[in-house]
A and B are shown apart, each in its own frame.
Chain A
């Protein structure tokens, strides 16, 4: 019974490159959340998706960031033209439903922009 799987665990990108982070939710979970954590800070909500739908993207930067959760396959967080300020840990979480359900987190993807 695998948990939330994220890959890659560590990613190094040069400024201007693209970063793609993948998240496979727990089995049976149809709700996916992406969070960003800067050093010594809490988690900042980015986006909440259900299969093929973006429910809430109020935490996503307006430019360069996008997320999808297709009918088949993992959820993808895509960062185009990365800058040094994008260096952070990106966590994916999943739940069976919204609100009353426990939300489970993956181990995170650490992005370093050099």
Chain B
């Protein structure tokens, strides 16, 4: 079953605007990671946030984590056309020997 679910499924914005993507998950996690995937390419790791952290920043990216609501958000500020990609959240469960479980992703289109 799907652990992470991103929302919205698709998002279209203009360059310079902010983009917010949300992710909800079902069970207790060790950490949550966000990835970007350009069409036809592999996944690029963006940011990892641990279960005891509430917010992390990396350049134009801001990630929040609310473990009480089992949700996370990814904010991209001042978006650029190059940010056009699919964005996935992935969770690592608290059980030993488990791998990243991915959601279906949010497709972001940034037009200039």
Contacts and interface: CB of A to CB of B under 8 A. Distances in A.
The residue among B2, B30, B42 with the most chain A CB atoms within 10 A of its own CB is B42
A102 B102 CA distance: 14
Given A108-B41, A108-B42, A102 B48 contact: yes
Contacts, number: 65
A48 B97 CA distance: 8
Contact of A33 (B2, B33, B100): B100
Interface residues of B, number: 26
B43 interface: yes
Given A100-B30, A102-B45, 11 more contacts: A43-B88, A98-B96, A99-B30, A99-B98, A100-B31, A102-B48, A103-B100, A105-B42, A105-B43, A105-B45, A107-B42
B33 A99 contact: no
Interface in A44-77: 44-45, 48, 55-56
